[in-house]
Structure 1
Amino acid sequence: MEGTVNILGVPFSKLTLDETTQQLARHIQKEQPHLYHLITANPEITITHQTDTALQTIVREADLITPDGIGIVIASKRKGQPISERVTGYDLLLRLLEQGNALGWSFFFLGTDEETNRKAVEAINRRYPNVKIAGRHNGFFNSEEEAGILENIQHTKPDILIIAMGAPYSDKWIYKHKQELNQVKVVFGVGGSLDVIAGKVNPTPRVWKTLNLEWLHRLLTVPVVKGQKSRWRRQSALPKFVYRAIIKG
């Protein structure tokens, strides 16, 4: 894939946050764009990709994969094909909300628990009053409710569909329902971004970001959600990534 660097089989985009936002904006402004599936991948997802054949197919067919982690940036430099900066789901969401506020884009928010989803959308309404909320729904639903959600998305035709159901589940859900999501212009997963916007989780302080220690801040401060792996268990993928992508190269 042109303009990418291959790290452990994942073709990461070398676009900056600004360039990524501009590329998505151009796609949204097209008269009849196809569904654009963007994946924000961190070292944990990159390691999962090694043995998850379903995720391998999803990655191969994605339109763009951004580097959501300092480890990806370091590995790219180790390969001599440097990525200039991380492009996280949270930062990209905020940029698109700013752009959407100026251009009147519509968003649909799917995921997290009901209270957090509602509070996040209320906060977005206050901060970005010109953004159109096509719809919202929490991430806990049965098959019957899922059919209604998909029908609602088809009916409202949002410019951007935001999924907050955890990785890689969000991207697997997107891939499974690509046919039903054909009225959407851009879709991507944002991890716990709605939790931050809703005020459920404090944003990472600037000093932690400057030191590229956002992952450690989340590890120490974000509560474990019932039914999900603990962050300590999930971060066990980091040593594997460091060895395979950075030390071994």
Structure 2
Amino acid sequence: MIPILISHILRTNLRGLDNLFMDKGKIYTFLNPVSYLMALDRKDLFGQFDGIFADGSILVAAIRLLYGITVKRRSFDMTSMAPELFRFAENNGKMLYIVASKQEQVEKAVEIFKERYPKLKFMGCRNGYFVSEQEMDAEAKHITQVNPDFLIVGMGALMQERFLLKVRNAGFQGIGFTCGGFIHQTANNEIEYYPLWIDRMNLRFVYRMYKEKHTRKRYVQAALLFPARFLWEKLIFSWYKDSKPL
């Protein structure tokens, strides 16, 4: 018996991206050690997603160490999934829609994407700040009406998952992904946010702590709490499995 979040990650890991990009009406998110801690308290939310990717070498290593299974790191940035999705969309004439960051940032990011991928088509974009649930509901309905092939949402952990689930429940027939801070990073002229040597050495979280001061507290907290809670969850499920009557 495997915890629900790990089970989701393992199932998602078995899927090829081209197949995933063609499977309509699905929504996907990503977990790193920081967001994994949040997800442990919101399994009701994350359990409704069609797939969860292991975002970060630390989570990948933890799964390999405690469960003996190797999963591929997938992040929605230019070191991983984003260029594959953009190339797929270009080659197949697919339309994108983005909800993320501040308005000027998301618009600038779209311009940068178009420069890098001239054939990439955007159906629309808007900021990720909503004043009420009603505004979120209205935007979710609008997205289902314009019906983009791919929806990319970057609003911070939990909020972006809540919104993407709203869109799916409103009848969205495309494919949705959360993207964390990808749009914000791109808008700062950092589409290649991580230097190549940082990416190769799996030091992305250290680099982000250096570049973005607001991330330092949560990364330090995760460094202290994630190993303990991840191990505890494994022990609890192992005990439950062993204690069940034959």
CA RMSD of aligned residues (A): 2.7
Q: Does 1:197 align with 2:186?
A: yes
Alpha-carbon distance between aligned partners in 2 of 1:67 and 1:123, rounded to the nearest angstrom: 27
Aligned residues: 230
Q: Residue type of the partner of 2:33?
A: P
* Higher Cα Rg, which structure: 2
Q: Is the 8 A contact 1:137 1:149 kept in 2?
A: no
Map of 2:46 onto structure 1: 59
Q: TM-score, normalised by structure 1?
A: 0.81
Match of 1:105 among 56, 73, 94: 94
Q: CA deviation at 1:243?
A: 3.0
Q: TM-score, normalised by structure 2?
A: 0.82
Q: CA deviation at 1:124?
A: 1.5
Unaligned runs of 5+ in 2: 235-246
Map of 1:43 onto structure 2: 33
Alpha-carbon distance between aligned partners in 2 of 1:38 and 1:8, rounded to the nearest angstrom: 13
Q: Is the 8 A contact 1:71 1:242 kept in 2?
A: no
Q: Does 1:85 align with 2:72?
A: yes
Match of 1:13 among 10, 22, 29: 10
Alpha-carbon distance between aligned partners in 2 of 1:243 and 1:98, rounded to the nearest angstrom: 39
Counterparts of 1:157-172 in structure 2, within 5 Å, are 157-172=147-162
Classify the secondary structure of the residue corresponding to 1:154. helix
Alpha-carbon distance between aligned partners in 2 of 1:107 and 1:238, rounded to the nearest angstrom: 35
Note the alpha carbon deviations across 1:61-88, whole angstroms, 9 max, x for none: 2111110011211112213432243111
Q: Residue type of the partner of 2:114?
A: N
Q: Is the 8 A contact 2:143 2:167 kept in 1?
A: no
Note the alpha carbon deviations across 1:192-246, whole angstroms, 9 max, x for none: 111232235561112112221100100111253xxxxx53234312222223436
Q: CA deviation at 1:10?
A: 5.7
Classify the secondary structure of the residue corresponding to 1:82. coil
Unaligned runs of 5+ in 1: 28-32, 225-229
Classify the secondary structure of the residue corresponding to 1:135. strand
Deviates more, 1:115-124 or 1:231-240: 231-240
Q: Which one has the bigger helix percentage?
A: 2
State the identity as a percent: 23
